[in-house]
Amino acid sequence: MAGGRFSPALLVLLCHVLFGSSSFQPALVLDMAKILLDNYCFPENLVGMQEAIQQAINSGEILKISDRKTLASVLTVGVQGALNDPRLTVSFEPNFVPVMPPALPSLPTEQLIRLVRNSVKLEVLENNVGYLRIDQIIGEETAAKLGPLLRDNVWNKVANTSSLIFDLRYSTAGELSGVPFIISYFSDPEPLIHIDTVFDRPSNTTKELWTMSSIMGERYGKRKDLIVLTSKRTMGAAEAVAYTLKHLKRANIVGERSAGGSVKVEKIRIGDSGFYITIPVARSVNPITGQSWEVSGVSPSVNINAKEAVANAQNLLAVRSAIPRAIQSVSDIIRQYYSFTDRVPAFLQHLESTDFFSVISEEDLANKLNNELQSVSEDPRLMIKLTQDHPVIIEEDFEPENIPGDPAFLRNLVDTVFKVRILTGNTGYLRFDKFGDVSVMAKLGEQIAQKIWEALKDTENLIIDLRYNTGGSSASMGILLSFLQDPSQQFHFFTIYDRIQNTTTEFNTLSGLLGPPYGSKRGVYILTSHYTASAGEEFAYLMQSLHRGTLIGEITSGTLMHSKSFQVEDTDIVITVPFINFIDNNGECWLGGVLGSYMLGEKTIEQGSESERRASLFILTDLGYHLC
Ligand SMILES: *[C@@H]1O[C@H](CO)[C@@H](O)[C@H](O)[C@H]1NC(C)=O
Ligand SMILES: *[C@@H]1O[C@H](CO)[C@@H](O)[C@H](O)[C@H]1NC(C)=O
Ligand SMILES: *[C@@H]1O[C@H](CO)[C@@H](O)[C@H](O)[C@H]1NC(C)=O
């Protein structure tokens, strides 16, 4: 983009070139400089140019170029380099005859109508998606002449569509004065919006373009979705339209980066030589970006081959049309299930005021929703993800099983679920991989007493292996915790709030345990791994928080379950909402997250206590290390 400061060094070189050519007198260099000074749209970049030229004239080194076309191209390189603007060119065209295209407004109305018919195409596609292609943006004077015709045949018809694909891929010509109408059509009447500031150097005037408070016909307004298609040929006024709509966040742009034209370029003869200089004489500044579409073009939000732009825009509109329903669905799910009921109103309000303009794919939508959700809730359990390969509904809670009362069957079940051993050094070992439902555990009470607590009652220490425990019912933790405390004392272990039942349940020391309690005096070591999840983690967490156990092993998985997952209306987006809050013995709500355990390797085995040593050795042996 033109904007770098004038570089005297390059121009000095340029002057040396000029004087070397016998066909080009020093006076003509000054003529060229004068033309630039009077016409170039970045006059601030010309500061110092005349002095530099004068200096070059006074010094005397000369390069010889006798061919005028070569000279013209050398001049072009020099001027472009000095002013950092690729639009400046010098040409040698002794036979050049300027052709002025007839001004549109002066054409007979019949001809104007024909022209508009040929440059405007309107269709209504599936789902009431409008498709409007305009190949030439007509200026305000022409528009005024054809007003009622355009209103009835174009704008009012477009206004009835639900969303619009505005195709500017073939729009290579047009007038900037037509831009305010188009932007106004896609905006509300109030407030007026400053669209563009155009500086015209020859007249040394600056003109601001604003939206119009009233336009002929119905507006499209700013709420319905709008996609503008561009190609690398889209140029001039059409670029101004695309650039403005993009930066007003009114339209997503689909297609190719546009041509990067200019507001106005003129070709001016240098003196009465056959040399001409082409100069951009006006420039546009967008009030939002402080920059312009000129030279660099408009970059699309979806960069895609222009040929595929219509299909892509249709897909994009389909994605975007699902956004309101998806937001509604997420709001409803959260209102109905989220366990932190006090955080729900703030969340819903936040969602309502969030701008989803930049969302151009379902993945974007999932990420955006997840980020918004996280920023308000600060709850890592609440998640939104795009999951094409997950089942539609994932139930994370533990469903109680229907268990027959036959004692042999129950014994068999307990044998399968609980692994109990006595290790060397009279250390008890207990492993189970899921916390059963309370009603199931109650049914198994006698069998568990036999299998676990009778078997372990004389051991000196106990290892509880949760390395493969992935959760289950938190409520049944109370039973296990009760066995590990002094039965004569009453403890508050934890509290569970269940949003679906809308119940708060406290879990305290249970009385009337079946089987001998292990009590509070003997050492308990909890083994964890990165698989340990949900209720498994909660149990490990509580044992630590109750100062009743030492954790040994790996950091846990950090996945608290107690959540339900739902597919968000018509999308591949899945929301996971926790409906249970787990509140520890200190009244803190634990949101999961990784549980730092006493890691193997952090302390050497020799440094630990004898029981820690045994628990650690157990892990190592179990993992296949053979220690002597
Ligand atoms: C737009 O729709 C309305 C109601 O659906 C209808 O009355 C009107 O004629 C339509 N206008 C055009 C230009 O199709
Ligand atoms: C252009 O106009 C501004 C004021 O609008 C003035 O300060 C400046 O001198 C003018 N420049 C020229 C070259 O006439
Ligand atoms: C939950 O229960 C409490 C009373 O225990 C009641 O005040 C509240 O409205 C209930 N909430 C819902 C969402 O049903």
Task: Answer yes or no: same fold for 104-265+280-304 and 400-622.
Answer: yes
* pLDDT for the residue 594: 58
Cα–Cα distance between 261 and 358 in angstroms, integer?
A: 26
Q: How confident is the model at residue 231 (pLDDT cuts 50, 70, 90)?
A: very high
How large is the average pLDDT for residues 78-82? 85
Predicted confidence (pLDDT) per residue in 84-108, tens digit: 899 999 999 988 887 776 676 777 8
d(CA 178, CA 120) in angstroms, rounded, equals: 14
If one compares 13 and 189, the residue with the highest pLDDT of the two is 189
Q: Where are the domains of the chain?
A: 8-92, 104-265+280-304, 322-389, 400-622
**DSSP character at residue 246:** H
Which residue is closest in CA terms to ligand 1's atom 10? 160
Closest listed ligand to the CA of 501: 3
What is the distance between the alpha carbons of residues 284 and 291, in angstroms, rounded to a whole number?
8
Task: Say if residue 498 is exposed, middle or buried (CB neighbours under 10 Å; 0-12, 13-18, 19+).
Answer: middle
| pLDDT for position 320 | 92
Q: Whose CA is nearest to atom 12 of ligand 1?
A: 157
- Whether the CB of 59 sits within 6 Å of ligand 1: no
CATH architecture assignment, domain 322-389? 2-Layer Sandwich (3.30)
- Determine whether 403 is exposed, middle or buried from the number of CB atoms within 10 Å of its CB (0-12, 13-18, 19+): middle
The Cβ of residue 563 has, within 10 Å, a number of other Cβ atoms equal to: 24
> Which of 351-360, 370-379, 417-426, 617-626 comes out lowest in average pLDDT?
617-626
Given pLDDT bands bounded at 50, 70 and 90, which one contains residue 192? very high
Ramachandran quadrant class, 425 (left: phi over 0; alpha: psi -120 to 50; beta: rest): left
Confidence of residue 184 (pLDDT cuts 50, 70, 90): very high
Nearest CA to ligand 1 atom 3: 160
pLDDT at position 403 over 70? no
User: For position 254, what pLDDT does the model report?
Assistant: 97
Q: By the 8 A CB rule, do 45 and 3 touch?
A: yes
Choices 3.90.550.10, 3.30.70.2860, 3.40.50.2300, 3.90.226.10: CATH for 400-622: 3.90.226.10
- Nearest atom, ligand 1, residue 157 CA: 13
- CATH fold of 104-265+280-304: 2-enoyl-CoA Hydratase; Chain A, domain 1 (3.90.226)
pLDDT bucket at 595, cuts 50 / 70 / 90: low
pLDDT at 337: 93
Where in 74-128 does DSSP place strands (E)?
Answer: 89-92, 120-125
- Is residue 603 predicted with pLDDT exceeding 60? no
Candidates 128, 150, 156, 160: which one to mutate for ligand 1, based on the most atoms within 8 Å of Cβ?
160
Which ligand lies nearest the alpha carbon of 497?
3
Residue 292 to residue 286: CA distance in whole angstroms = 6
Is pLDDT at 172 greater than 60 in this prediction? Answer: yes
- Record the pTM: 0.75
User: By mean pLDDT, which of 124-128, 552-556, 621-625 is the weakest?
Assistant: 621-625
Neighbouring residues of 214: CB distance < 8 A, sequence distance ≥ 6: 189
Beta-strand relationship, 120-125 and 573-578: unpaired
Write down the pLDDT at residue 61: 45
CB of 162 shorter than 6 A to ligand 1: no
Least-confidence region, from 32-46, 141-155, 176-190: 141-155
Ligand 2 centre to CA of 46 (Å) is 14
Structure tokens at 374: 């996280």
pLDDT-derived band at 16 (thresholds 50, 70, 90) equals: low
**How many angstroms is it from 204 CA to the middle of ligand 2?**
6
Q: Which is it for strands 492-498 and 264-269: parallel, antiparallel or unpaired?
A: unpaired
CA distances from 198 to 122, 210, 231, 294, 438 (A): 31, 11, 24, 12, 75
Flag whether pLDDT at 400 surpasses 50: no
On the question of pLDDT at 451 being above 50, the answer is: yes
